[in-house]
Amino acid sequence: MTPPKDLKLQEMLGGAIDARFTRAILDVASNIDDPNTDAEATRKIVVTLVFKPDAQRKAVRLQANVETKLAGNSAIKTTVFSTFSRENGCAILREIPDDQPSLFGETSEGANAAASTPQERTS
């Protein structure tokens, strides 16, 4: 069987497949560059060509699609203190910024060690 002479992927459907593939490459590159996505996640481009011949096998209906499978947004985390106000019956939530300086000038390791070590009073 000889290959088709006039059928070129770049020209099929008026160049639409080629244009969609180019767009998909740009979407993948943008997703890789996005700091909100997992840098090491796998991205994928899937080109699907579906051929549906007629009953006489003379004409074939072609359907094409280009899909991307990109990395989703990475989870972002924070710490929130919560309490309940007995005065007005409302929950109170306050976020602790990651860049908040220590209240007592200690690192978190020093604070944990101090909290677990009994302190003697000097009066």
pLDDT tens digit string along 22-57?
999 999 999 999 999 999 999 999 999 999 999 999
Which domain, by its residues, includes 107?
79-111
Clarify whether residues 53 and 87 are in a common domain.
Answer: no
Say what the pTM is. 0.61
Number of domains composing the chain: 2
Whole-angstrom distance, CA of residue 11 vs CA of residue 13:
6
> Which pLDDT score, from 0 to 100, does residue 80 have?
85
Clarify whether residues 16 and 63 are in a common domain.
Answer: yes
> Which pLDDT score, from 0 to 100, does residue 106 have?
60
In degrees rounded to 5, what are phi and psi of residue 28?
-65, -45
> Which pLDDT score, from 0 to 100, does residue 29 have?
97
pLDDT tens digit string along 70-123?
999 988 888 888 888 888 889 888 888 777 777 676 655 544 444 444 455 454
For residue 91, give the amino acid letter.
A
Clarify whether residues 32 and 56 are in a common domain.
Answer: yes
Asked, for residue 27, whether it belongs to a domain, the answer is: yes
Strands (E), 4-112: 44-53, 60-69, 79-84, 91-96
Clarify whether residues 45 and 27 are in a common domain.
Answer: yes
| 37 CA to centre of own chain | 4
